[in-house]
Amino acid sequence: MVFFWFVILVVFMLMMYTVFMVLVWIAIAVGILIVAVLIVKAKKTNPREIAGMDMRCKKCGTETGGMMCPKCNKTFGV
Ligand SMILES: [Zn+2]
């Protein structure tokens, strides 16, 4: 009977260990996700880092290649 409770205790500890490991992996995944979002935001602030992407002007849709839109800059203030 003592062995039975010992097995129950071991199984319970293994379950707790599994839950703990899952929580640790979730925490690691969330941390990586936050870092990835921060890197994306940091790259968005510096458009020159994004090479080869289809960068378009938000106002007129002209391809700018990450540079400032020539059309909107010319018509700015008119
Ligand atoms: Zn534009």
Ligand 1 centroid to Cα of residue 31, in Å, is: 36
**Token pair for residue 66?**
């990450």
Residues with CB under 5 A from ligand 1 (ion): 57, 59-60, 62, 69, 71-72
**pTM of the entire structure?**
0.44
Q: What is the pLDDT of residues 2-61, one digit of tens each?
A: 889 999 999 999 999 999 999 999 999 999 999 999 988 887 765 554 444 557 777 787
Closest residue by Cα to residue 57 from 46, 47, 68: 68
pLDDT reported for residue 59: 78
Q: Is 29 exposed, middle or buried (0-12, 13-18, 19+ CB in 10 A)?
A: exposed
For CA atoms 45, 46, 50, 55, the dihedral sign is positive
